[in-house]
Amino acid sequence: MSHPIYIGGHWREGRGDVIVSRFPADDSINAELRAASLEDVEDAVTAADAAWRDPGWAQRLPHQRAEVLYRVSDLIMQQLDTLSRLQTRDNGKPLSETRALVASAAGTARYMAAACETLEGELPTRRSAEFMTFSEYEPLGVIAAITPWNSPIASDMQKVAPALAGGNAVVLKPAEATPLMALKLAELFEQAGLPKGLLSVLPGRGSVIGDALVRHPKVRKISFTGGTSTGRHLAHIAADKLIGTSLELGGKSPTIVCKSADVEQAVRGIAYGIFSSGGQACIAGSRLFIHERQYNAVMARLLEVTSGLRVGHPETDGVHIGPLINTAHRDSVSAYVDQARQEGGKVLIGGQAPDDPDLAGGSYYLPTIIEGLPANSQVCREEIFGPVLVALKYKDEADLIRQANDSVYGLAAGIWTQDYRQALTLARQLEAGTIWINTYKKFAISTPFGGFKESGLGREKGRQGIQAYMQQKSIYLGLDSTPMGWSQ
């Protein structure tokens, strides 16, 4: 019996192709399941459209909708260990990372519940003695949420929680490689008492199931996290349908070491920023800029720190870097490193799979640092989504800003300096949606997140995170009792 999927509040076998969830550490099978079919998409969207309009949900006040999210948050924290282990099986991240991701999903549900309870409409300043106006937020309807494989429960919750808090229904399509966490999340929402139909989870191929979902006439918003080319494709579909999108896309983020940086702090932050999650993070700090006078000293220490990182089984305590999601992805990372060698880059460390026989069955790749590449090389420009860092030099601030901003992406940037005046000057010039100063890859759900340029459209998180799933309705209230219109 294959693992059931969740359609319109019912657990049943999908009617699509068989997909297999594998443990990237040894390629063993976690679960086999029948993916959703086009008929399943139709059933899920039809159920979702009925569910958000159902008076049982539509008439719930915001604080009553919030109750479901508070309960989900509690359930997640009660099952933190089991869920972290499941996520580690699903995508191979070390347990220390998946624990943090699972806890962050609980925090997102709690924050969005609180934000929902306190979401206020607007009472604009009056412009006439004849009437007053106010604006309220209403749900959009059915939301198509599409997520990638690198942080399943966190990115799923980042969409599902604000969308449900805003009174919508959600059809979630997780990545093919990682269907299990999204299905588990559906189980938790069901236990928390979410009315049937408000959430469906449809594992399946993006180009088939994802495509049919976003094109469905009843879908009123696309909320997507994934690669830039997929995001662009979805934006075209949304434009045809005249619906909104929220696009969290790729990155090639610069991290900058200034002359006054605390080198030890910077080097550890740089290593964490690129090598945690095996570099499979949209915000990975994959381009390192070091002032030319400090270059040798910073690189020497960075190489020492990198050589001390432990690559290994993701369920073993103390492991820093687990396997990549699968061997096809490792091949793609490895091809980029070969390309760097051809482009004149020098691989200073890594640049291959580990030779430890215990790791031979998994899709591991060593943390890799490359120098000597021209800034316009393919490896400096394209998102590799693996543990590969390119190191570059800069002469002065103008040279730094020119190089750092010379990218189609603009997701994040890191600055290491003890001079806060300089930090703020740089931060204001960098074209990125998130700037970390003397820290990196840290998140607060209260703080808006999203990309500049081809890294995305719209913002997730923060109090505005719910409004992204709502539309304003303005109401004019006449106050003048004399008949209006032309005098006759």
Structure tokens at 303: 């190489």
Annotated active-site residue 282? The verdict is: yes
264-283 footprint of ligand NAD as x/- string (CB under 6 A): ------------------x-
**Residue pair 290/257 in contact by the 8 Å Cβ criterion:** yes
Q: What whole-number distance in Å separates Cα of residue 65 and Cα of residue 115? A: 11
Q: Does 465 bind ligand NAD (CB under 6 A)?
A: no
103 or 457, CB closer to ligand NAD?
457
Q: Which strand ranges, in their side-by-side order, compose the sheet holding 142-146? A: 10-12, 5-7, 199-201, 169-173, 142-146, 219-225, 244-248, 456-457
Stretch that binds ligand NAD, among 17-25, 69-77, 142-150, 253-261 (CB under 6 A): 142-150
User: Using the rule CB under 6 A, which residue among 107, 210, 285, 362 binds ligand NAD?
Assistant: 210
In 3D space, the residue among 72, 226, 245, 69 whose CA is nearest the CA of residue 146 turns out to be: 226
Annotated active-site residue 380? The verdict is: no
Q: Does 227 bind ligand NAD (CB under 6 A)?
A: yes
Q: What whole-number distance in Å separates Cα of residue 390 and Cα of residue 288? A: 6
367 or 456, CB closer to ligand NAD?
456
169 or 209, CB closer to ligand NAD?
209
CB of 237 to ligand NAD, least distance (A): 8
Q: Does 40 bind ligand NAD (CB under 6 A)?
A: no
CB of 250 to ligand NAD, least distance (A): 3
Q: What's the gap between Cα 419 and its chain centre?
A: 31
**Residue pair 212/146 in contact by the 8 Å Cβ criterion:** no
Burial pattern 441-452, b for ≥16 Cβ within 10 A else e, equals bebebeebbbbb
CB of 247 to ligand NAD, least distance (A): 8
User: Using the rule CB under 6 A, which residue among 49, 211, 371, 454 binds ligand NAD?
Assistant: 211
37 or 417, CB closer to ligand NAD?
37
Structure tokens at 138: 């209403």
Neighbours of 293 (CB within 10 A): 10
User: Using the rule CB under 6 A, which residue among 43, 248, 371, 454 binds ligand NAD?
Assistant: 248
Annotated active-site residue 248? The verdict is: yes
CB of 186 to ligand NAD, least distance (A): 16
The catalytic position among 258, 441, 460, 461 is 460
6 forms bridges with which residues in the sheet? 11, 201
User: Using the rule CB under 6 A, which residue among 6, 385, 436, 440 binds ligand NAD?
Assistant: 385
**Residue pair 43/73 in contact by the 8 Å Cβ criterion:** no
Q: Does 95 bind ligand NAD (CB under 6 A)?
A: no
User: Using the rule CB under 6 A, which residue among 60, 85, 196, 233 binds ligand NAD?
Assistant: 233
Q: How many Cα atoms are found within 13 Å in the side-chain-facing hemisphere of 241?
A: 19
Which residues ranging from 154 to 183 are in contact with ligand NAD (CB under 6 A)? 155, 173, 175-176
CB of 101 to ligand NAD, least distance (A): 11
Q: What whole-number distance in Å separates Cα of residue 239 and Cα of residue 220? A: 12
CB of 432 to ligand NAD, least distance (A): 11
Q: Please give the size of the binding site for ligand NAD, defined by CB under 6 A.
A: 30
- Quick one: residue 293, left, alpha or beta (phi over 0 = left, psi -120 to 50 = alpha)? alpha
Neighbours of 122 (CB within 10 A): 11
The catalytic position among 97, 248, 371, 454 is 248
User: Using the rule CB under 6 A, which residue among 206, 273, 351, 458 binds ligand NAD?
Assistant: 206
**Residue pair 309/320 in contact by the 8 Å Cβ criterion:** yes
Q: What whole-number distance in Å separates Cα of residue 434 and Cα of residue 148? A: 20
Which residues ranging from 429 to 458 are in contact with ligand NAD (CB under 6 A)? 451, 456
CB of 184 to ligand NAD, least distance (A): 16
Q: Does 223 bind ligand NAD (CB under 6 A)?
A: no
The catalytic position among 258, 282, 371, 383 is 282
Annotated active-site residue 343? The verdict is: no
Query: Percentage helix, strand, coil, to 5, in the chain?
Result: 40, 20, 40
In terms of Cβ atoms closer than 10 Å to its own Cβ (0-12, 13-18, 19+), residue 148 is: buried
Structure tokens at 230: 């997929």
Q: Does 411 bind ligand NAD (CB under 6 A)?
A: yes
Identify the DSSP state of 316. S
- Between CA 117 and CA 28, with CA 106 as vertex, the angle to 5 degrees is 150
Q: What whole-number distance in Å separates Cα of residue 334 and Cα of residue 253? A: 20
Q: Does 150 bind ligand NAD (CB under 6 A)?
A: yes
Stretch that binds ligand NAD, among 92-100, 226-234, 293-301, 391-399 (CB under 6 A): 226-234
**Residue pair 176/17 in contact by the 8 Å Cβ criterion:** no
Rg (the chain; Cα; Å): 24
User: Using the rule CB under 6 A, which residue among 92, 139, 226, 278 binds ligand NAD?
Assistant: 226
CB of 226 to ligand NAD, least distance (A): 3
Q: Does 250 bind ligand NAD (CB under 6 A)?
A: yes
The catalytic position among 93, 97, 116, 159 is 159
In 3D space, the residue among 436, 177, 398, 133 whose CA is nearest the CA of residue 284 turns out to be: 436
339-378 footprint of ligand NAD as x/- string (CB under 6 A): ----------------------------------------
Which residues of this chain interact with ligand NAD, rule CB under 6 A?
146-150, 155, 173, 175-176, 206-207, 210-211, 214, 225-227, 230, 233-234, 248-251, 282, 383, 385, 411, 451, 456
Which residues are known to be catalytic? 159, 248, 282, 460
